[in-house]
Amino acid sequence: MNEKIISPLNRVEGDLDLKVIIENNRVIRAYPMSRLFRGIEIILRNKYPMDSLVITPRICGICGASHLYATAQALDMAYNAYVPPNGVRLRNVMALAEMAQNDVRHTYLMFLIDTVNKKYENLPFYKDMVLRWAPYIGSSYKEAVKWSKKYTEIYAIFGGQWPHGSAMVPGGVTTDPYYNDIMKAKGILTHITVEFLEKTVLGGPLYQFLEINSLNGLEQWCTDYPNGDLCKIWNYGKDMGWLELGRGSNYLMSFGHVPLAEKYVPGNSKLMFDKGIINLENWEKIDLDQNNILEFVSSSYYTYDEGEKIGLHPFDGETKPLPPNASSSKYTFTKAFRYKLGNSLIAPEVGAISMLTVGGNSLMVDLVRRFKSNVLLREIARIIRLALIHKIIMDELNDYDINKPAYKKPDEVNTTRGYGMLEAPRGSLGHWIVIKEGKIYNYQIVTPTQINMGPEDPFGNLSHLSLSLLGTEVNDVNNPIEVAHVVRSHDACMVCNVHFFDSGLEKMVIRL
Amino acid sequence: MKNLLWLQGGACGGNTLSVLNASDPDLFTFLFTHNVKLLWHPSLSLDNNITQILNDIISDRLHLDILIFEGTVIMGPNGTGMYDIFAGKPMIEWLRKIATKADYIIAVGSCASFGGIPASEPNPTESTGLQFHKKDCGGFLGKNFKSRKGFPVINLSGCPVHPEWLLTTLLLIIEDKLSQEDLDEFNRPRLFYSTTTQFGCPRQPYFTYKISTKELGHREGCLYFELGCRGPYTRSSCNNILWNNQSSKTRVGTPCMGCTEFDFPSFNFFKTEKNRSGIPKRLPLGVSRGSYVTFSAVAKASAPQFLLRPLVRKGKGDWIE
Ligand code: SF4
């Protein structure tokens, strides 16, 4: 038996260590461990509610706009705010521009560079992978470095700066763009579409790609446009066994995303990407009710007033950290997220693949129906999502009504509560705020990486990541690249890198 | 060739992402052109050989020219540093050793400089900056700490740092052009921290004539009088060196949050705290209460009429005052 502690597991966002136990070249147990505690929820207590608009984006350097959007939605609900359609559109543009930036940087800077791993050296297409995807020098890597930042320019036109703007506020956005701003943002987007998305990523025209709705269509695309990275990832990925790698939870969950501008109602909007849960065994679609969300701490460095067995809904959530202690059974700063489904507690998978599948994208649904969830489809999902984002941002900007406002001042409410739930780049994100006498009484945040990579609950149910690693075959225990693929395919973010560690605390066997 | 190592403590990764936004030159072109070797970076490096690298630096097998640290130094709980374990040990243990080996140390972002958000009350992680804790010199490394080249920790505050501030500072170091006189009292390069956020803000005419916007969401009006803009007393170059080549907070109507200053986050954002006579509690940098009051009265009385109405759109603009 081999016990590997991989620390830090780099190239994921946030500090993640991973302990995997390998027997006969198979992973038999996996413990994702978040080693970093920053205490943001504690700092928010007793502060002025609007302060959360400044603090929460700083939870994460790569998805701050998603946190900002969640906060703004939670305050919309708490203050009963009306948000003019223009305000919703600009929020959507900003959130999606950030998401596009993330999907490109994840794919090229964090994930694909693992294809230069020595495991693949003897494959006939190894040279092509190195020429495209090798860090710093690969042709596509360089394009990704160059173009990913252009999305942040679109963000900054409306959000002031990226990362860490605070332009989304209850009632809309702080900005009142002129028409030249709209034109410039569209210009930048078109530039990225033509010079990067179509040339490097898709290999063919965007509008045509968006018509694909099945596996057959995707295969045909790869025949027609064999030189795009999409086709290469798809074909090489299949050959490298990624369709069979890292399956995991039976459930895909999405909090839903992109409210329709005219139909925005905090907590109850009509969405472009529907929310819900899909059971991969029988394709039953389950409605999502935020009341069924629970967090457990029996394996986490936290304590609850009422003991270890209970789960708390975020509105009643507690953040009481305990010092890490090697001799306790607790091992992570991540709470265990569970969704109460009838009498059972499920640990779903979240991420681009869930957002698109639950959201009803027909290409994604067809792929997942055939292959379930796995490393390759998670990567393909991000590319499909990127293409969709290009279209949605353009539509939102085209529909922007320059003669109408983007903000309506709400009245602040002294004792109230609200939540904001959406899809961040890495998956479902929720913020819950309780306000008493004009101050934040409780602020609880559920992040996608927490949902995917939490520990087991008191009843022994494993999280999605642990499940997806179970049974993973590791060719060479000294080079557990398969494990890295599984973790990185989730675009992990413990803010902001996942660490495989060698340790003073635990016996280290292998470093990745 | 210069060796550069980038480590993260209690960080959100925002400074890393910000530097990836650098455009002319971009980060990799910069490193390549100036012959800088990035020994390791948590989000960018292919290999996970950081323990080896750290040990090589500590045992003098590898020379470290520049250490960049992002995020707070986490001392908690109870001074053990166990809230931030990196490569098997509390980050503070690595940092203590590595700091003595670096020719230069740069703290990127307000967390590494002053403690930032994690160090704000009640500071649950016992976070601090590398050489400052909020306004007090000291922090993790102590007041008298000097890196091998005799410099204190060079602070590039901001939440996050602007890529141009960082790359320029790196270049000054690489070309041996940085002297200690170039740093201000918080050890920040004056080049970027001598102006206030107001320099270059398009709302400056409104500030001059004391014309306020009463609510968010508008182009017109200054954000200082009602909406808590910290631009008049925050030293930054945000409106001179634009963000993402495009804009800044105040340009899109978001008040300056003062994120380059030691007291960030000072909370109660989006509103201006005033004293009983209605004067903002925090006055523009270097302005006395007396002259502020006198000057405001004159300025208000001299305000040009066209500034009291929306500039482009029709309508009364009852949010302008
Ligand atoms: S908005 Fe802020 S930065 Fe701009 S002039 Fe007014 S106070 Fe200064």
The domain locations on chain A are 2-292+345-508
In the block, tokens 């495209």 appear at A132
Q: What is the CB < 6 Å shell around ligand 1?
A: B 197-198, 201, 203-204, 207, 222-224, 229, 231-232, 250, 256
Least confident of B31-35, B86-90, B261-265, B273-277: B86-90
B244 CB near a chain A CB, below 8 Å? yes
A69 CA distance to ligand 1 centroid (A)? Answer: 24
Distance CA A164, CA A172 (A): 17
- B137 annotated to a ligand binding site: no
Helix (H) or strand (E) holding B292: helix B289-301
End-to-end CA distance of chain A: 18
Nearest Cα residue in chain A from B76: A323
Minimum CA distance residue for ligand 1 atom 8: B198
Cβ-Cβ contacts under 8 Å for A127 (sequence gap 6 or more): none
CA distance readout (Å), A80 to A56, A71, B283, B307? 20, 14, 34, 33
Distance CA A67, CA A429 (A): 8
Token reading at A150: 């252009």
**Architecture of the domain delimited by A2-292+345-508:** Orthogonal Bundle (1.10)
Contact list in A for residue B219 (CB cut-off 8 A) is 176, 178
Distance CA B50, CA B56 (A): 10
- A222 annotated to a ligand binding site: no
For residue B64, the SS3 value is strand
Amino acid letter, residue A173: V
For residue A167, the SS3 value is coil
Phi, psi of A49, rounded to the nearest 5 degrees: -50, -40
Strands B64-70 and B2-8: parallel
CA distance readout (Å), A14 to A17, A112, A246, A295, B127? 10, 19, 21, 20, 17
A63 CA to chain B: closest CA distance, Å?
9
CA distance readout (Å), A255 to A270, A396, A424? 12, 21, 9
Q: Per-residue pLDDT averaged across A146-171, rounded?
A: 97
Are A218 and A365 within 8 A, CB to CB?
A: no
Please give the pLDDT value at position B47: 80
pTM of the model: 0.95
Q: From A6, A391, A427, A11, select the one nearest A190 (Cα to Cα).
A: A391
Percentage of chain A surpassing pLDDT 70? 93
Q: Per-residue pLDDT averaged across B253-279, rounded?
A: 96
CA atoms within 13 A on the CB side of B33: 11
Distance CA B158, CA B161 (A): 5
- A137 annotated to a ligand binding site: no
Helix axes A215-224, A229-239, angle to 10 degrees: 110
Distance CA A318, CA A302 (A): 9
Average pLDDT, chain A: 91
Q: What is the largest CA-CA distance in chain B?
A: 71
pLDDT digits (tens, 9 = 90+) for B156-174: 999 999 999 999 999 999 9
CATH number for the domain running over B2-191: 3.40.50.700
Minimum CA distance residue for ligand 1 atom 2: B231
Amino acid letter, residue A274: D
Are A111 and A387 within 8 A, CB to CB?
A: no
Domain B195-320: give its CATH superfamily.
Cytochrome-c3 hydrogenase, C-terminal domain (4.10.480.10)
What is the ipTM metric for this complex? 0.96
3-state secondary structure A61-78: CCCHHHHHHHHHHHHHHH
Question: Residue A94: which region, alpha, beta or left (left: phi > 0; alpha: psi -120 to 50)?
Answer: alpha
Contact list in B for residue A50 (CB cut-off 8 A) is 269-271
Q: Per-residue pLDDT averaged across B294-306, rounded?
A: 95
Contact across the interface for A496 and B43, Cβ inside 8 Å: yes
Helix (H) or strand (E) holding A24: none
Token reading at B233: 């007393």
Q: From B302, B121, B242, select the one nearest A40 (Cα to Cα).
A: B121
Please give the pLDDT value at position A34: 78
Across the strands, what pairs with B107?
B69, B155
| Predicted confidence (pLDDT) at residue B250 exceeds the cutoff of 80 | yes
Please give the pLDDT value at position A18: 82
Q: Per-residue pLDDT averaged across A176-182, rounded?
A: 95
- Residue in A110, A162, A333 nearest the CB of B244: A162
Strands A336-341 and A168-169: unpaired
Strands B154-156 and A271-273: unpaired
Contact across the interface for B247 and A160, Cβ inside 8 Å: yes
Contact list in B for residue A10 (CB cut-off 8 A) is 42-43, 45, 48, 50
- Residue in B13, B159, B251 nearest the CB of A13: B13
Q: Per-residue pLDDT averaged across A281-298, rounded?
A: 96
B14 CB near a chain A CB, below 8 Å? yes
B250 CA distance to ligand 1 centroid (A)? Answer: 7
Domain extents for chain B? 2-191, 195-320
Looking from the CA of residue B196, the nearest atom of ligand 1 is: 3
Please give the pLDDT value at position B139: 97
Distance CA A356, CA A352 (A): 6
Ligand 1, from B197, B199, B201: best to mutate by most atoms within 8 Å of Cβ?
B201
Contact list in A for residue B18 (CB cut-off 8 A) is 61, 163
CB pairs under 8 A between A and B: 266
Looking from the CA of residue B223, the nearest atom of ligand 1 is: 1
Contact list in B for residue A59 (CB cut-off 8 A) is 12
Nearest Cα residue in chain B from A13: B43
Please give the pLDDT value at position A509: 27
Token reading at B127: 């976070």
Minimum CA distance residue for ligand 1 atom 7: B224
B316 or B260, which is more confident: B260
Q: How confident is the model at residue A37 (pLDDT cuts 50, 70, 90)?
A: confident
Chain B, window 159-218: residues with a beta carbon less than 8 angstroms from a chain A beta carbon: 159-160, 215-218
- B111 annotated to a ligand binding site: yes
Amino acid letter, residue A431: H
B285 CB near a chain A CB, below 8 Å? no
- B12 annotated to a ligand binding site: yes
CA-based torsion, B191, B197, B203, B209: positive or negative: negative
| Predicted confidence (pLDDT) at residue A404 exceeds the cutoff of 50 | yes
Ligand 1, from B197, B203, B287: best to mutate by most atoms within 8 Å of Cβ?
B203
Q: Per-residue pLDDT averaged across B238-262, rounded?
A: 97
Contact across the interface for B17 and A176, Cβ inside 8 Å: no
CA distance readout (Å), A503 to A6, B51, B95? 9, 10, 16
| Predicted confidence (pLDDT) at residue A15 exceeds the cutoff of 70 | no
Q: From A193, A257, A183, select the one nearest A387 (Cα to Cα).
A: A193
Please give the pLDDT value at position A9: 63
Contact across the interface for B44 and A152, Cβ inside 8 Å: no
pLDDT digits (tens, 9 = 90+) for A341-372: 999 999 999 999 999 999 999 999 999 999 99
B224 CA distance to ligand 1 centroid (A)? Answer: 6
| Predicted confidence (pLDDT) at residue A13 exceeds the cutoff of 60 | no
CA atoms within 13 A on the CB side of A444: 23
Contact across the interface for A51 and B85, Cβ inside 8 Å: no
CA atoms within 13 A on the CB side of A123: 19
Contact list in A for residue B26 (CB cut-off 8 A) is 145-146, 149
- Residue in A148, A169, A495 nearest the CB of B216: A169
Please give the pLDDT value at position B12: 85
The CA-based angle A9-A14-A20, given to 5 degrees, is 35
pLDDT digits (tens, 9 = 90+) for B32-89: 999 999 999 988 888 878 999 999 999 999 999 999 999 999 999 899 998 888 888 9
Please give the pLDDT value at position A338: 98
Token reading at A340: 């109460």
Ligand 1, from B197, B198, B320: best to mutate by most atoms within 8 Å of Cβ?
B198
Token reading at A394: 């353009």
Average pLDDT, chain B: 95
Across the strands, what pairs with B245?
none
B118 CB near a chain A CB, below 8 Å? yes
Looking from the CA of residue B239, the nearest atom of ligand 1 is: 3
Q: From A247, A264, A242, select the one nearest A72 (Cα to Cα).
A: A264
Ligand 1, from B199, B212, B224, B237: best to mutate by most atoms within 8 Å of Cβ?
B224
| Predicted confidence (pLDDT) at residue A326 exceeds the cutoff of 80 | no
Are B128 and B73 within 8 A, CB to CB?
A: yes
CA distance readout (Å), A200 to A143, A228, B122? 8, 6, 48
Contact across the interface for A164 and B14, Cβ inside 8 Å: yes
Distance CA A373, CA A351 (A): 11
